[in-house]
Structure 1
Amino acid sequence: MEGNEPDPRFTLANERTFLTWLSTSLALSAGGIGLAVAPADVFGSWVRTPLAVVLVLLAAVAAGSAYPRWRRIQVALRRDEPLPPPALAPLLGYGVAAVAVLALVFVLVNR
Structure 2
Amino acid sequence: MLEKLDTTIEKLFEEGKIKTKWNELEIHGIREIINLLWQDEIEYGTIGQAYEIKNRTIYQTFYSGLPYKNGDQYETFIRAYIDTDNNIIFMSSKGQLFMYETDDEDGTDMKHFSKSE
Q: Same fold (TM over 0.5)?
A: no
The structure with the larger Rg is 1
Looking at secondary structure, tell me which structure has more strand per residue.
Answer: 2
**TM superposition score normalised by structure 2:** 0.28
**TM superposition score normalised by structure 1:** 0.29
